[in-house]
Structure 1
Amino acid sequence: MSRIPEPEVHVRGQQTPGGVERPTLRASAAAFTSLMALAATGLVAGPAVGATAGPCALPRTAAHHSLGLDTWNGSYPQPTRTLDAVMIFLSFPDSTPLVGPADLTADHFPGTSDFFRRASYGRFTLRAHPQREWIAMPRPSTAYDIKRDWDAGRRTAYLHDAIDAANEKVDFARFDIVYLVADPDAPGVDSDATKVVNLDHPIEVDDTEIKRVVTVFERHPPDRNVLAHETGHVFDLPDLYHRPTDGKGDWDTHVGDWDVMGSQFGLAPDLFGWHKWKLGWLERKQVACVQKPGGRLLSLEPLSAPPVAGGTLGIRLAVVRTGPGTALAIEARGATGNDEDTCTEGVLIYRVRNEAASGDGPIEVVDAHPRTEACWDRSVFPPLADAPLGVGETFTVPGEGTRVEVADRTRAGVWTVKVTVPARRA
């Protein structure tokens, strides 16, 4: 089984076999398209982040990495500007490094920066500042007992030793993010221990407070997209995978391949549209809030597609509020950008809960084809690999009554979708 990222620490139609409907009669794509401009005008939500985020924006709660997005948690850096990250390479007296800092840097950059540039539509730059030399740790690697479920005392000793050792050569006040990269071949290093550590008591150094660090213990070469996943936590994004309580079972039952915060190995690892809304990469005019009962028409641009000429974006996310702390999100996923290796293309539906903490299922993909699977040779969770709806398919979300019909896909890749909200949502 693929290694799972370490969780961060605080300190009427005919039924197809899959369950979707292919209506015997449906409005033509042309009919949908002719009404699109009118429909989209009334479906726009409020600003991406802030007190006036609109009726479809769930409020932020006390849950760790809450997916409420009416306000931003100021203890985290918001990735709407250039952020500077220092990479510090740590060696140990019980091992001579077999690879150099330059090789380890290339394992993660520019790949991680490129991931976020594409995900943010060019609105965020992650600028790495790798150190060129090893920083010697005062104790052997085995002394820290590095492992997935790490003893808090030894983890704290590791962090303080690393910061103290690097302080002579690194001005921490210059950086927004700190990556501590351990010699991957040291005998006490365990790649399963890669994580973000949030510090209840920040480390004060260089007249600044370090509130969290990313501890990197990856092999060389590392797991795919692992640093993008961990950096997502630095921006207040939750783990979306499910960790079995008994250590058995599948980790990817909640979102499968569909977001890097679920699995860094996913075939379509771009961040969900809801995440992009929370981070400030989707603005008011790019989120359609479907409120009133009845059918609404909209054009969904593929989530991962770059902006068209001039840097403009159309609607990338549709949201139906289903309760005080819950919503349905609808977005189009296509083989472009971070999703270029996707197993299937189509319109994806997922549930969002603002009171679910990181790792407790804040997002769950709705499987529009529950009786079929796809891409057994590549997918991290084949049952969800074919979750999206294709052209001509209609699906009613169980327990919600919201109906999603995919009418057409234009040559430009835009999906024509009808979302029908039941009267009880009024």
Structure 2
Amino acid sequence: MERPSPRGLAAGLVSLLALAATSLVAGPAAAAAGDAAPCALPRTPAHHSLGVDRWNGAYPRPDHALDAVMVFLSFPDAEPATTPAEIASDYFPSTTRFFRRASYGKFTLRPHPQREWIRMPKPSTWYGIRRDWASDRRSAYLRDAIRVADERIDFSRYDIVYLVADPDAPGVDSDATKVVNFDRPLHADGTDIRRVVTVFEQHPPDHNVLAHETGHVFDLPDLYHRPTDGKGDWDTYVGDWDVMGSQFGLSPDLFGWHKWKLGWLDDRQVVCVQSDRVVTLEPMADVPVPGASLGTRLAVLRTGEGSAVAVEARGSTGNDLSTCAEGILLYRVRNETPSGGGPVEVLDTHPDSDACWERSVYPPLADAPLRVGETYSVPGAHATVEVADRTPSGAYTVRITTGT
């Protein structure tokens, strides 16, 4: 679920949850090994836990090509002003490019947009579409959507389902865009449907919104802070860093920890720091030329049974081309903190300054990275991080002192 923007299946559908994840049953586990293993936090029952020791088999793992169907839904109370092709172009190929860059070419999202609108049986206003949706109307919407779509679509061909509502229908609220998970998978065309992405965006939509929502399909958590009273700042946890925090961020590439969880980084690119060490970190968003090694991308300091501090380089390249500041980014990870509760918190190495007021979603964290020549004492880790140098290729030489 995204934060507010600036601007034969029926029985199974009754039982659903509007959470971004439900199953806590791990699938085939690939235990971490090698130098990174001591820092691999274990998965916990927390919603979208950031444990990386095993994969939750209830979610598709994006370590190979996946197929996504886009179903376009119209309503009796509105005639669509756009075509499915026009709306599909709002999201693709940009979303595919985002994931291809973020995964270093290891994952391809293949969209299959349908060519025609499929008419829902009730007016858009009847469904009561909004962010915190009444469960009975939400169930009715999903029941109707899957029923009318199943008449034309073979769901067994697809790994991901996007239900895209007519943006001009009077009852469509863009704040309602989210991933809906079923507590019991639906069965259609010989396949289980565990979740769908319900898209209610305007045309054109919010930037990177589908990359954010698709991240939930891969078991990634919301990193923004949702104020309990609906007021206040949503970006205090991670600011511009990572699309799971803000889809409008200047540095939307996924954190290295997320890439480790998803399988885009393996133990060869992750260093567990248990004593004084000098590491060379390649910028996280830097996509190497085909055939070249990724190099070390992430250093981790274990700070407790369920917590760690991650150290990575961020530069003006790839998905981070519009970044406000380059340098070494540090952030705390907690495996027992649920989605939306702050499972990741960026450490501000420049707490007395901010940057990019005209562009940043949260200027106090826009200049969070440590620059060359600077040293930072990591709270609670009994460690210091010094950025000793930057190589001609753009990698950072980082000296980590643990005191052990």
What 5-or-longer segments of structure 1 have no aligned partner?
12-48
Which residue of structure 1 lines up, in the alignment, with residue 389 of structure 2? 408
What 5-or-longer segments of structure 2 have no aligned partner?
8-17, 23-28
Which residue of structure 1 lines up, in the alignment, with residue 26 of structure 2? none
Which residue of structure 2 lines up, in the alignment, with residue 21 of structure 1? none
Contact 1:183 1:189 in 2 (8 A): yes
* Paired letter, 1:190: D
Which residue of structure 2 lines up, in the alignment, with residue 417 of structure 1? 398
Cα distance in 1, alignment partners of residues 206 and 158 from structure 2? 25
The normalised TM-score by structure 2 is 0.93
Tell me if 1:354 matches 2:335: yes
Cα distance in 2, alignment partners of residues 412 and 4 from structure 1? 38
* Paired letter, 1:149: D
Cα distance in 2, alignment partners of residues 2 and 397 from structure 1? 33
Contact 2:303 2:380 in 1 (8 A): no
1:184 alignment partner, SS class: coil
Tell me if 1:234 matches 2:182: no
Cα shift at 1:9: 4.7
Cα shift at 1:168: 1.5
Q: 1:281 aligns with which of 252, 256, 264?
A: 264
Q: 1:248 aligns with which of 227, 231, 242?
A: 231
Cα shift at 1:201: 2.1
Tell me if 1:119 matches 2:102: yes
Cα distance in 1, alignment partners of residues 20 and 47 from structure 2? 11
Measured against aligned partners, the alpha-carbon deviations of 1:266-311 in whole angstroms (never above 9, x if no partner) come to 000000000000000001110011013xx20010000000124523
Over alpha carbons, which structure has the higher Rg?
1
* Paired letter, 1:220: H
Cα shift at 1:200: 0.7
Which residue of structure 1 lines up, in the alignment, with residue 60 of structure 2? 77
Contact 1:303 1:316 in 2 (8 A): yes
5 Å-filtered alignment, 1:254-403, equals 254-292=237-275, 295-403=276-384
Cα distance in 2, alignment partners of residues 191 and 238 from structure 1? 20
Measured against aligned partners, the alpha-carbon deviations of 1:55-114 in whole angstroms (never above 9, x if no partner) come to 110000000100001000000000000000000000000000000100100000000000
Contact 1:4 1:263 in 2 (8 A): no
Cα shift at 1:204: 1.6
* Paired letter, 1:281: W
Most deviating of 58-67 and 311-320: 311-320
Q: 1:64 aligns with which of 44, 47, 51?
A: 47
Measured against aligned partners, the alpha-carbon deviations of 1:15-49 in whole angstroms (never above 9, x if no partner) come to xxxxxxxxxxxxxxxxxxxxxxxxxxxxxxxxxx7
Cα shift at 1:194: 0.2
Cα shift at 1:4: 7.8
Larger RCO, structure (CA 8 Å, separation 6 or more): 1
2:328 alignment partner, SS class: strand
CA pair 152-9 structure 1, distance change in 2 beyond 3 A: farther
Measured against aligned partners, the alpha-carbon deviations of 1:170-215 in whole angstroms (never above 9, x if no partner) come to 0000000000000000000000000000111222211111110000
Cα distance in 1, alignment partners of residues 371 and 4 from structure 2? 29
* Paired letter, 2:32: T
Tell me if 1:93 matches 2:95: no
CA pair 138-4 structure 1, distance change in 2 beyond 3 A: same
1:233 alignment partner, SS class: helix
* Paired letter, 2:287: P
* Paired letter, 1:78: R
The normalised TM-score by structure 1 is 0.88
Contact 1:50 1:69 in 2 (8 A): no
Which residue of structure 1 lines up, in the alignment, with residue 12 of structure 2? none
Which residue of structure 2 lines up, in the alignment, with residue 52 of structure 1? 32
* Paired letter, 1:58: L
Cα distance in 1, alignment partners of residues 176 and 238 from structure 2? 23
Cα distance in 1, alignment partners of residues 403 and 130 from structure 2? 50
Cα distance in 2, alignment partners of residues 98 and 160 from structure 1? 25
Cα distance in 2, alignment partners of residues 279 and 318 from structure 1? 17
Cα shift at 1:422: 2.8
Tell me if 1:148 matches 2:131: yes
CA pair 4-203 structure 1, distance change in 2 beyond 3 A: farther
Measured against aligned partners, the alpha-carbon deviations of 1:355-412 in whole angstroms (never above 9, x if no partner) come to 0000011000000000100000000000000000000000001232220000111111
1:215 alignment partner, SS class: strand
* Paired letter, 2:205: P
Q: 2:179 aligns with which of 193, 196, 206?
A: 196
* Paired letter, 1:314: G
Q: 2:196 aligns with which of 213, 217, 220?
A: 213
CA pair 331-10 structure 1, distance change in 2 beyond 3 A: closer
Cα distance in 2, alignment partners of residues 85 and 144 from structure 1? 25
Say how many residue pairs are matched: 383
Contact 2:4 2:175 in 1 (8 A): no
Q: 1:186 aligns with which of 158, 169, 179?
A: 169
Cα distance in 2, alignment partners of residues 355 and 4 from structure 1? 31
Q: 1:168 aligns with which of 144, 147, 151?
A: 151
Contact 1:4 1:251 in 2 (8 A): no
Structure 1: which 4+ aligned runs deviate by more than 4 Å? 7-11
The two structures, once aligned, show a CA RMSD in angstroms of 1.5
Cα shift at 1:50: 2.2
Most deviating of 196-205 and 404-413: 196-205
1:55 alignment partner, SS class: helix
Cα distance in 1, alignment partners of residues 134 and 292 from structure 2? 48
Cα distance in 1, alignment partners of residues 32 and 130 from structure 2? 43
CA pair 401-4 structure 1, distance change in 2 beyond 3 A: farther
